[in-house]
Amino acid sequence: MLHLDQQVLRTDVTGMPIEWIGYQDAVRLIVLGQVSYALGRVLYHLHGGVNALTGQRTVIPVNAIVATQGSHPDAHRFYGRYTPPLSNRALFRRDENICLYCGNQFHHSELSRDHVKPLAQDGVDTWSNVVTACKRCNNHKGSRTPEEAGMQLLAIPFAPTHAEYVYLQGRRILADQMEFLLAHFPRHSVLRRRLARSLAEGRNNLDPIQ
């Protein structure tokens, strides 16, 4: 039995991932005739009122993926040099809640955003200059570079693409949703390799921090 907060992946009519929505928003789009097609497993069957002519009760199936009419007005942003907004939530999920200095995994409350090149040394607050760090490692590093602090950076930070960012925003992502998103990931993406491995292991419910 799925939780009622299981998210639905919304795309535009071309299949470009846009956002995650709740079942209420998905039903509204269906009722308004704004859904062009649906993909993936049926998550819910919502029961409506009784048709006065047929006496039958309305049943609305809600699929894991719904494509809405038209193309996204900002679709051009999702290609080329588009960079998603940076947030700690997405950053920690990009790095799997792992401190990229000590290599241990932590609860998000024990993590912090570290600037590889410190702001005090004219570093910038961008995806390619920030990593997940436990508070202990971040405090030890201070306003120094990893080299100055004698610390090794375990992975190279990177900016996710739009599709990867949509993934990082998700919760309890289902396998069919993940397969759909994976098709939009760059071929040599770090996240692509990670998630392809998860799918190969047969996991039916995927979370960015698992």
Name the strand (E) or helix (H) holding 162. Answer: helix 162-168
Q: What is the pLDDT of residues 187-199, one digit of tens each?
A: 999 999 988 888 8
For residue range 108-128, what is the model confidence (pLDDT) as tens digits? 999 999 999 999 999 999 999
The H or E element that residue 147 is part of is: helix 146-149
Q: Provide the whole-model pTM.
A: 0.83
Confidence of residue 50 (pLDDT cuts 50, 70, 90): confident
Both tokens of residue 22?
Answer: 């709740």
Count of residues making up the chain: 210
pLDDT band at 205 (very low <50, low <70, confident <90, very high): low
Report the b/e string of 52-70 with b at 16+ CB within 10 A: eeeeeeeeeebbbbbbbee
Residue 116: Cβ within 10 Å count: 17
CA-based nearest residue to 43, from 64, 60, 28? 64
- Set out the domains of the chain in order of their start, with CATH numbers: 8-74+172-191 (no CATH), 88-149 (1.10.30.50)
d(CA 79, CA 64): 24
